[in-house]
């Protein structure tokens, strides 16, 4: 749908974007504040960045969070892909309704419930099997995979439904085994959805505070847990510096991703035009 | 010597190729089963099973032990198994005003925030749809970008704006509008702002997707038949985008009701919401049975109705 944008809508967009961005811009500006009191301006300085980089605690939290996010995103993408294939391509099977329900429920589940239920699971498993002895990396990663695979599955399902099945059918008619069909045809065609699913899972994991707080144990502090424990007591200039770095990294990554997708779209369009000419 | 090693190499290579093919055949044969089983078992183990354990704990009694609740089954010396189920925790949270009021308050805050998100999100989504081919992707990018940055830090940004010496109070004092700072941080107002701010993209994106697909000729037809734009909006556009409105509202309402971080950071101790009560019951009071009962009640009152609703809605639209 297109047409002219009325003045009212233009004003709303402007207000909306101002509402979104002014707090973040202020956050960035105050990270360069010399003063220890965040809202009181004391001149430009980069001292809070130095404080931040010198902090061992911050570095270890960053590295733990990145490790969890990487493992989580990879497994969530694999499981999400398998789940989406099961839902879209395999027709009816026993337990399909239950499976679909469990797959989508994490999308609407309040975080506190997910966190609580996984913690009691880990404690029960430990009582019964002696594992996991300590909560930390493994338990947080398992918890994250469980809710992020839902997001991957939704992304992949949408693409899979729109894709049609004829190429896969042609390949298996020509004698390709199911695994070969998956790796040679389905996965390459799903690549954009898989990449955005992976990125989504990665970000969700990096961002999660509540579930990680429930299922973590002593000694395993992720970045959100560290930030939360610091800002609960009030404003902290070093957290402003950290926020600025995170915003910068995210903006650069998204810009690159957008550029790649844009190019891919252009290439697809060209391919389609070429195909038409050949016909 | 040389030939010998070669032949050895060949046989080991043959064996190697034989082994995967045998495994491979099995994989091919049970392909469908394997693909379904892996995610299915994962979800049964890490999604469904935990709820049964929560249910079990919710009918247990608080005990000073680790873990702090009584066993459901007890084996006595004579070999009799006694089953202990108490509904005290549920009775407690139903009769105790704290939980009931907190629950109502959470629903109220979430509902009002959802409505505000809709009120502002709809025109923003509509405006983006009506933008030119160059501006549209840029606006979309700008709406999505905050969603990818840390949720926690977006809440933190508002602590800086709303605090007593914060930006808003400083500006108002400098302009001479007020003499004393107005308390905004640690109030319900701050919680509303925080929820609307962080959940707005979840409202805009489904609305955008819905509006984008809308057939513009319907609006033209309505205009040709003499309908005024406002009338057309309420009679044509809004009813046709109801799926987007519902999807966006659910995506805001449900997580907002169970929100923990926003009431904790922006509401301080002054705003009680159920997610925060549950968390505190669990971590500070270590009353696991009551926390489990709260979680289950929330699940039945909040999540289940919505899943059922969506299931039937999906069925009715799928049948079209």
Q: Indicate whether B65 pLDDT > 70.
A: no
Q: Between chains, do B43 and A102 touch, taking CB under 8 Å as contact?
A: yes
Asked if pLDDT for residue B272 goes beyond 50, the answer is: yes
What ranges do the domains of chain A cover?
12-45+239-279, 59-234
Task: Please count the structural domains in chain B.
Answer: 2
pLDDT higher than threshold 70 for residue B4: no
Q: Are residues B198 and B279 in the same domain?
A: yes
Half-sphere exposure of A30 (CA within 13 A, CB side): 27
pLDDT of residue A16: 92
Q: What is the model's pLDDT at position B278?
A: 87
Mean per-residue pLDDT of chain A: 88
Q: Tell me: do B20 and B106 sit in the same domain.
A: no
Q: Do B295 and A121 touch (CB under 8 A)?
A: no
Task: Tell me the nearest-neighbour CA distance from B293 into chain A, angstroms.
Answer: 11
Is residue B66 a part of any domain in this protein?
no
Contact B148 A254 (CB under 8 A): yes
The residues in A 124-143 lying below 8 A from B, measured between CB atoms, are: 124, 127, 142-143
Contact state of B160 with A118 under an 8 Å Cβ cutoff: no
Q: Which residues contact A17 (CB under 8 A, 6 or more apart)?
A: B139, B142, B143
Domain extent for B18: 1-52
B126 and B181 within one domain? yes
**Is B125 in the same domain as B185?**
yes
Q: How far apart are CA B61 and CA B85, in angstroms?
A: 8
In a domain, B59, yes or no: no
Query: Which tops the pLDDT comparison, B169 or B63?
Result: B169
Mean pLDDT of A108-126: 90
- One domain for residues B154 and B25: no
With a cut of 50, say whether residue B7 has pLDDT above it.
no
Are B47 and B112 in the same domain?
Answer: no
3-state secondary structure of A135: coil
- Residue labelled with tokens 């697809």: A268
Q: Which comes out higher in pLDDT, residue B212 or B69?
A: B212
Q: Is the pLDDT of residue A70 over 90?
A: yes
Residue B39 and residue B136 in one domain: no
CATH of the domain at B274: 1.10.3720.10
B292 is a domain residue:
no
Residues of chain B found within 8 Å of residue A231, distances taken between Cβ atoms: 152, 156, 159, 265
Model pLDDT, residue B1: 43
Whether A171 shows a pLDDT value over 80: the answer reads yes
B5: which 2 tokens? 């090693």
Most confident of A62-71, A111-120, A165-174, B28-37: A62-71
Identify the closest residue of chain A to B42 by CA–CA distance: A146
B142:A17 CB<8 A: yes
Flag whether residue A18 sits within 8 Å of chain B, measured between CB atoms: no
B chain contacts of residue A4, beta-carbon cutoff 8 Å: 130
Residue B50 distance to chain A (closest CA, Å): 5
Q: Is the pLDDT of residue B10 over 60?
A: no
Give A-chain residues touching B42 at CB under 8 angstroms.
79, 145-146, 149
Following DSSP, what letter does each residue of A172-230 receive, concatenated?
A: HHTT--HHHHIIIIIHHHHHHHHHHHHHHHHHHHHH--HHHHHH--TT---HHHHHHHH
| Cα torsion through A114, A117, A118, A120, rounded to 10 | 160
pLDDT band at A89; cut points 50, 70, 90: confident
Q: What is the pLDDT of residue A242?
A: 92
* Predicted confidence band of residue B12 (pLDDT cuts 50, 70, 90): very low
CB-based contact A146 B47, cutoff 8 Å? yes
- Please give the interface size between A and B, counted as residue pairs whose CB atoms are below 8 Å apart: 257
Residue B246 domain-assigned (yes or no): yes
User: Of A87, A195, A212, which is closest to residue A145 (Cα–Cα)?
Assistant: A212
> Does A6 or A21 have the greater pLDDT score?
A21
- As for the ipTM of the complex, it is 0.87
**Cis omega (within 30 of 0) for bond into A107:** no
Task: Answer yes or no: do B101 and B214 share one domain.
Answer: yes
CATH topology for the A59-234 domain: MetI-like fold (1.10.3720)
- Label residue B81 by pLDDT band (50, 70, 90): low
Average pLDDT for A22-37: 87
Residue B115 located in a structural domain: yes
Same domain? For B47 and B100 the reply is: no
Percent of chain B with pLDDT over 90: 28
């Amino acid at each position: 749908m297109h047409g002219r944008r009325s003045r009212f809508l233009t004003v709303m967009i402007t207000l909306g974007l101002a509402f979104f961005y002014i707090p973040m811009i202020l956050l960035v500006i105050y990270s360069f504040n010399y003063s220890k009191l965040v809202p009181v301006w004391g001149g430009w300085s980069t001292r809070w960045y130095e404080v931040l980089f010198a902090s061992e605690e911050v570095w270890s939290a960053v590295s733990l969070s990145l490790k969890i996010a990487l493992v989580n995103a990879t497994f969530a993408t694999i499981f999400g892909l398998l789940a989406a294939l099961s839902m879209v391509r395999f027709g009816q099977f026993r337990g399909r309704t239950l499976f679909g329900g469990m797959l989508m429920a994490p999308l609407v589940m309040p975080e506190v419930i997910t966190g609580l239920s996984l913690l009691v699971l880990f404690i029960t498993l430990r009582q019964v099997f002696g594992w996991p002895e300590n909560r930390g990396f493994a338990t947080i990663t398992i918890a994250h995979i469980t809710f992020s695979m839902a997001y991957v599955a939704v992304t992949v399902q949408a693409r899979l439904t729109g894709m049609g099945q004829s190429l896969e059918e042609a390949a298996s008619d020509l004698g390709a085994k199911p695994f070969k069909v998956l790796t040679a045809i389905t996965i390459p065609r799903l690549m954009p959805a898989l990449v955005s699913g992976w990125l989504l899972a990665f970000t969700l994991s990096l961002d999660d505070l509540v579930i990680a707080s429930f299922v973590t144990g002593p000694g395993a502090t992720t970045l959100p847990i560290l930030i939360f424990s610091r800002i609960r007591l009030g404003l902290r200039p070093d957290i402003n510096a950290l926020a600025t770095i995170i915003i910068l990294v995210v903006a650069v990554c998204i810009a690159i991703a957008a550029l790649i997708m844009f190019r891919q779209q252009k290439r697809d369009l060209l391919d389609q035009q070429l195909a038409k000419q050949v016909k | 010597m040389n030939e010998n090693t070669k032949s050895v190499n060949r046989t080991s290579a043959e064996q190697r190729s034989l082994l995967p093919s045998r495994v491979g055949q099995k994989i091919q044969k049970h392909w469908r089963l394997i693909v379904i089983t892996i995610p299915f078992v994962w979800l049964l183990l890490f999604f469904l099973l935990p709820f049964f354990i929560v249910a079990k704990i919710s009918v247990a009694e608080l005990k000073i032990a680790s873990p702090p609740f009584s066993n459901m089954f007890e084996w006595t010396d004579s070999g009799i198994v006694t089953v202990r189920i108490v509904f005290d925790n549920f009775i407690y949270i139903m009769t105790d005003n704290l939980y009931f009021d907190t629950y109502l308050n959470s629903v109220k805050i979430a509902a009002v925030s959802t409505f505000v998100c809709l009120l502002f999100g709809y025109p923003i989504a509509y405006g983006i749809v009506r933008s030119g081919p160059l501006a549209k992707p840029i606006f979309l990018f700008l709406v999505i970008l905050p969603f990818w940055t840390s949720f926690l830090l977006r809440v933190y940004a508002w602590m800086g704006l709303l605090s007593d010496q914060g930006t808003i109070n400083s500006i108002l004092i400098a302009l001479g509008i007020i003499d004393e700072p107005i308390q905004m941080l640690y109030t319900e107002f701050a919680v509303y702002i925080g929820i609307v701010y962080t959940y707005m993209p979840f409202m805009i994106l489904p609305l955008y997707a819905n509006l984008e697909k809308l057939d513009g000729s319907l609006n033209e037809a309505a205009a040709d038949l003499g309908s005024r734009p406002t009338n057309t909006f309420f009679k044509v556009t809004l009813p046709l985008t109801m799926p987007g409105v519902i999807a966006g509202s659910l995506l805001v309402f449900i997580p907002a009701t169970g929100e923990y971080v926003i009431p904790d950071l922006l509401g301080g101790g002054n705003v009680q919401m159920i997610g925060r009560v549950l968390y505190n019951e669990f971590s500070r009071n270590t009353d696991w049975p009551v926390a489990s009962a709260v979680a289950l009640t929330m699940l039945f009152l909040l999540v289940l109705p919505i899943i059922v609703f969506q299931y039937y809605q999906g069925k009715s639209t799928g049948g079209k």
